[in-house]
Amino acid sequence: MTASPLTIALVQQADQGGLEANLDACATACRAAAAEGAQLVLLQELHNGPYFCQQEDPALFDLAEPIPGPSTAYLGTLAAELGVVIVGSLFERRAPGLYHNTAVVLDSDGRLAGRYRKMHIPDDPGYYEKFYFTPGDLGFTPIDTSVGRLGVLVCWDQWYPEAARLMALAGAELLLYPTAIGWDPRDEAEEQARQLDAWMTVQRGHAVANGLPLAACNRIGFEPDPAAGGAGAHFWGNSFVCGPQGELLARAGADRTETLIVTIDRARSETVRRIWPFLRDRRIDAYDALERRYRD
């Protein structure tokens, strides 16, 4: 593992109303973060526009683009200009009728270092992602960059310990989650609090179980249901970074544009794994049932 400290930035924003405005907002935040010493910038899920999955509309497939494509070219130029690694999140058009929710990693020299296609695809009221996204087929493979080996996952993946574990077993030094998650405004405050607490707790658990730092970057703001059939989504922000024992290093608010800048001591991962050797004590001879949907 790379032992040097790493300064990362999480860009938490609301939808700016259009592709150009969103990319401009991302660029402004990246430039500010780089000026403060950030070496890695994590953007939120589907940062180029609104969270369009609140409805099922075939016309919205026009929002997708190829990878490499215009947005990777834009982010790559920005990464090279600033000398930082940028993790973005795009609606990928792979072929007619074949689309993915894809994270992209632009290295500090501007090249496309790799991509990750979201593996776990939700299908819930207001989150009709199965209509748009084909499950990923690239596996849980970390992406090597100038700042280290990144375990990039996307939103719904963050509820699955298997995803984080497989990234860790493949040598990831840091777990990263671009995210778009929010409350149903009709839910009571107590239920909203439980959901937010569960979201943070499960991800902090991934950090603990794998002895790795973790960063989750979420969007903010209320986005109405374009079809006017639902209550819309109030994205809850609370982007955060935690260390390898799940300790919170920084946390954003729920409703404001904010860039978290945090320096991670990556040497602690080695120290923590020595005192909590979870990888050593795994019973890999007894886990065959994990390959089954359910054990009847």
Separation CA 106–CA 258 (nearest Å): 22
Phi and psi at residue 249, to the nearest 5°: -100, -30
CATH assignment at residue 69: 3.60.110.10
Q: What is the pLDDT of residue 228?
A: 73
Residue 24 has pLDDT above 70, yes or no: yes
| Residue 251 within any structural domain of the chain | yes
Instruction: Pick the closest to residue 113 from 144, 72, 92, 88 (CA basis).
Output: 144
Judge whether 118 counts as a catalytic residue: yes
Q: What is the pLDDT of residue 227?
A: 82
> Residue 47 is encoded by which pair of tokens?
């940062």
Q: What is the pLDDT of residue 140?
A: 98
| Residue 260 within any structural domain of the chain | yes
| Residue 269 within any structural domain of the chain | yes
| Residue 296 within any structural domain of the chain | no
**Farthest-apart Cα atoms in the chain, separation:** 56
- Single out the catalytic residue among 26, 53, 155, 242: 155
The C-alpha angle with vertex 168 and arms to 66 and 76, in degrees rounded to 5, equals 30
CB-facing half-sphere around the CA of 137: CA atoms within 13 A: 6
Kindly state the percentage of the chain with pLDDT values over 70.
Answer: 99
Separation CA 220–CA 240 (nearest Å): 13
Separation CA 191–CA 244 (nearest Å): 28
Residue 76 has pLDDT above 60, yes or no: yes
- Strand 98-106 and strand 112-117: pairing? antiparallel
Residue 295 has pLDDT above 90, yes or no: no
Provide the b/e sequence for 194-206 (b: ≥16 CB within 10 Å).
ebbeebbeebbeb
pTM higher than 0.95 for the full model?
yes
Residue 1 has pLDDT above 60, yes or no: no
| Residue 225 within any structural domain of the chain | yes
Separation CA 130–CA 228 (nearest Å): 20
| Residue 195 within any structural domain of the chain | yes
| Domain extent at residue 92 | 6-291
Is the distance from CB of 51 to CB of 159 less than 8 angstroms?
no
- Classified as helix, coil or strand, 231 is coil
Tell me the average pLDDT across 92-119: 98
Provide the residue type at 97 as one letter.
Answer: G
| Residue 1 within any structural domain of the chain | no
Tens digit of pLDDT for each residue in 109-166? 999 999 999 999 999 999 999 999 999 999 999 999 999 999 999 999 999 999 999 9
- Single out the catalytic residue among 118, 129, 173, 217: 118
User: What is the number of domains present in the chain?
Assistant: 1
Separation CA 110–CA 84 (nearest Å): 9
- Single out the catalytic residue among 26, 30, 45, 129: 45
Q: What is the pLDDT of residue 2?
A: 58
Judge whether 30 counts as a catalytic residue: no
| Residue 61 within any structural domain of the chain | yes
Tens digit of pLDDT for each residue in 217-243? 999 999 999 887 788 999 999 999 999
Instruction: Pick the closest to residue 212 from 137, 153, 289, 286 (CA basis).
Output: 153
